[in-house]
Chains A and B, each alone.
Chain A
Amino acid sequence: MSGLMVIGEISDGKISSSTCELLNAGQMLDDTLKEGVVAALLGSDPGKATQDAIAHGADKVYLVEDPLLKDYQIDAYLAALEKVCKDTSPSIILIARTLIGRDIGPRLAFRLGVAVAQDCIEVKIDPNTKGLVGNRPVYGGNAMAAVTFTQLKPHIAIVRPKSYAALETDGSRKGEVVTIQVKLDPALVKVKLIKSVKEPSEGVRLEDAQVVVSGGRGLGGPEPFKDLEVLAKLLKGAVGASRAVCDAGWVDYSHQVGLTGKTIAPDLYITVAISGASQHMAGCSGAKVVVAINKDSSANIFKEARYGVVGDWNKVLPAFTEAVRELTQS
């Protein structure tokens, strides 16, 4: 078994941003491994994305084309990936921890009879064993673990998106494209998508916002979120929330920041009445500056914050918002 394989995802004829990140991670690992980086691409017409994968760091592309692979469907994708892995025997596989990666990654590992290092934020190669080592947060981010594998290969890591940068597109890179023939039986498809309901957010997208203002359980109800919206608008930002707030039904789950919510990386993250539980902080570790307003000086959020006010938000927030209005509109 040899070679490092990145399982790619395609959107709009291009490889996804998390695939670009993994190709870069793969190239970094290959400095030690020296076995080359391949991208596995699946789709009904994935051909267009192959050059894109090569331009972003793939030395070779394995391509599987089938009408059943048009959109992600777990049973068909699993069968195709199983065939690719069995035909090409990679020693290391990298999968992004996206909606698709989380859904299929562990199943693929079990199908191949091997283990997974889940949710890695860093992957390395042990120069002696050539085995994979993954560093990952555990216990909601309260602790970090370094994990490695037994001899049994492939070694599979599922990597948290945005853990690696993408390489600049390099159109001059060359790479081979190999088509892998897979016979997919339509009867294989068990899980069928019957409806997709999108609840698009208004205004600035939380994941892309440069400024995010989030509220927590200490706000006591849904009304104060109107005040947060006013503040967010002044700062051209978006409104986030802790899970406690979403579970209480004060705002929609699309606002949840954290381990099981959205990952944000704004320049400025203002938290109001949020305690700063590790599972919340897991979603905003990329924020450049965290500001906390909380009445409890011992709250964990102050350990993560750059600026803090210990006080009652009922008093702090209106004055803060007013001052922001004056400063930003003068």
Chain B
Amino acid sequence: MPINIIVCVKQVVDPETPASAFKVDREAKRVVPASGVPPVVNGFDENAVELALRLRDAHGGKVTALSLGTDFVMDVMKKPLSMGADDLVLLRDSSFSNIDSFGTAVALAAAIRKIGNYDLILCGRQASDWDNAQVPLGLAELLGLPSITTAKSIQVRDKTLIVERALPDGYDVFETPFPAVVTVSNEAGQPRYPTLRGIMMASRKTPITWGLSDLGLDASAIASKLSLLDLFIPVTQKQCEFIEGENDADAGRKLALKLREAKLI
């Protein structure tokens, strides 16, 4: 049975930006992306794309990537396509600039209904910018679907999904009917690298772009319920004492003596 999957993906500030290059505009309450560091597709969303592609390759069907934002970098956002997704739908509207998780879920749910004919909605377990892990569960609520979080594998058996949920010390196996919302964790394994052919194909595809009105929504439907009072970089007053020696081994020995002196060992 072919399975149609919609994968929600988000463009985020590169989370591997070194802490020293991480800047905040406290006045505007915004993160200032480090210069020369392009945004990326949220890592867990790539894990979700990977699982979607594995399911499609095994069962047939279609994978549609869906994203909401204001300032998409097209080379970045086409990554799911170059990995092998069939379509890309971008929701872009100036009203999305201060959108919260609630509004995001409302807009994405409207888009999912408009795309229609879906069996499975996949999302990354959380976005690496706000680490909220809310939108997928909001989609499940708004679309009236069952939800399973932090999956490491998904299989289709008859009319049900079998999902392994990654846990700190092991995993649970769940069964749920479709359609369903499942969030994917990095335990699912490395996302595939786009092939040259994939990149070529992606470059020829034009994403479908919808604004708020295309979704049949007005600004009040996505109005923020949360507001940001402050955004700042915490200061640490920690002072590191560097232990030096004649060579690395000597420094290692001296470190042990130091910890002994401090009664830590």
On chain A, the residues within 8 Å of B147 by CB distance are: 74, 103, 107, 191
Q: Are B146 and A260 in contact (CB under 8 A)?
A: no
> Does B234 make an interface contact (CB < 8 A)?
yes
On chain B, the residues within 8 Å of A115 by CB distance are: 100-102, 225-226
Q: CA of A300 to CA of B20 in the docked complex: distance in angstroms?
A: 8
Q: Are B134 and A106 in contact (CB under 8 A)?
A: yes
Q: Are A196 and B170 in contact (CB under 8 A)?
A: yes
Contact mask B226-259 → A, CB, 8 Å, 1/0?
A: 1111111110101111110001111111011111
Q: CA of A144 to CA of B131 in the docked complex: distance in angstroms?
A: 12
- Most A CB contacts (10 A, CB to CB) among B171, B186, B248 go to B248
Q: CA of A241 to CA of B248 in the docked complex: distance in angstroms?
A: 23
Q: Are B141 and A110 in contact (CB under 8 A)?
A: yes
Q: CA of A99 to CA of B186 in the docked complex: distance in angstroms?
A: 16
Choose among B142, B171, B176, B257 the residue that contacts A191 (Cβ–Cβ < 8 A).
B176
Query: For residues 100 through 153 of chain A, which have their beta carbon under 8 Å from a beta carbon of chain B?
Result: 102-103, 106-107, 109-111, 114-119, 133, 137-140, 142-150, 152
Q: Are B255 and A291 in contact (CB under 8 A)?
A: yes
Query: For residues 268 through 314 of chain A, which have their beta carbon under 8 Å from a beta carbon of chain B?
Result: 268, 276-279, 289, 291-293, 297-298, 300, 302-312
On chain A, the residues within 8 Å of B229 by CB distance are: 133, 146-148
Shortest Cβ gap from B250 to chain A (Å): 7
Contact mask B17-42 → A, CB, 8 Å, 1/0?
A: 11110101000000100000000000
Closest to A322 in B: B253
Q: CA of A102 to CA of B137 in the docked complex: distance in angstroms?
A: 10
On chain A, the residues within 8 Å of B148 by CB distance are: 191
Shortest Cβ gap from B16 to chain A (Å): 7
> Does B115 make an interface contact (CB < 8 A)?
no
> Does B98 make an interface contact (CB < 8 A)?
no
Closest to B26 in A: A143
Shortest Cβ gap from A203 to chain B (Å): 13
> Does B166 make an interface contact (CB < 8 A)?
yes
> Does A223 make an interface contact (CB < 8 A)?
no
> Does A168 make an interface contact (CB < 8 A)?
no
Q: Are A300 and B132 in contact (CB under 8 A)?
A: no
On chain B, the residues within 8 Å of A277 by CB distance are: 16, 19
Classify the secondary structure of B's interface with A: mixed
> Does B82 make an interface contact (CB < 8 A)?
no
Closest to B16 in A: A277
> Does A60 make an interface contact (CB < 8 A)?
no
A306-B101 contact, Cβ under 8 Å, with A116-B134, A150-B227, A198-B170: no
How many residues from B make CB contacts under 8 Å with A?
84
Q: Are A139 and B255 in contact (CB under 8 A)?
A: no
Choose among B131, B162, B226, B240 the residue that contacts A138 (Cβ–Cβ < 8 A).
B131
Q: Are B234 and A144 in contact (CB under 8 A)?
A: yes
Q: Are B256 and A327 in contact (CB under 8 A)?
A: yes
Q: CA of A302 to CA of B16 in the docked complex: distance in angstroms?
A: 17
> Does A323 make an interface contact (CB < 8 A)?
yes
Query: For residues 172 through 201 of chain A, which have their beta carbon under 8 Å from a beta carbon of chain B?
Result: 190-201
Report the stretch among B60-68, B86-94, B122-130 that lies at the interface: B122-130
Q: Are A147 and B228 in contact (CB under 8 A)?
A: yes
Q: CA of A99 to CA of B13 in the docked complex: distance in angstroms?
A: 27
Q: Are A254 and B18 in contact (CB under 8 A)?
A: no
Q: Are A316 and B265 in contact (CB under 8 A)?
A: no
On chain B, the residues within 8 Å of A106 by CB distance are: 101, 132-134, 137-138
Q: CA of A99 to CA of B125 in the docked complex: distance in angstroms?
A: 13
Shortest Cβ gap from B257 to chain A (Å): 7
Q: CA of A160 to CA of B140 in the docked complex: distance in angstroms?
A: 23
Choose among A118, A254, A315, A328 the residue that contacts B247 (Cβ–Cβ < 8 A).
A315
On chain A, the residues within 8 Å of B177 by CB distance are: 190
> Does A56 make an interface contact (CB < 8 A)?
no
A307-B240 contact, Cβ under 8 Å, with A191-B146, A324-B256: yes
A320-B226 contact, Cβ under 8 Å, with A110-B105, A254-B169, A307-B258: no
**Nearest 9 interchain pairs by C-beta:** A323-B256, A315-B248, A319-B252, A115-B225, A320-B252, A311-B248, A110-B141, A190-B146, A319-B249
6 contacts between A and B (CB under 8 A): A110-B105, A114-B225, A260-B185, A261-B168, A302-B242, A319-B248
Contacts beyond the supplied A145-B230, A193-B173: 9 A-B pairs with Cβ under 8 Å:
A103-B137, A115-B225, A138-B131, A139-B22, A235-B265, A303-B238, A304-B238, A309-B243, A327-B260
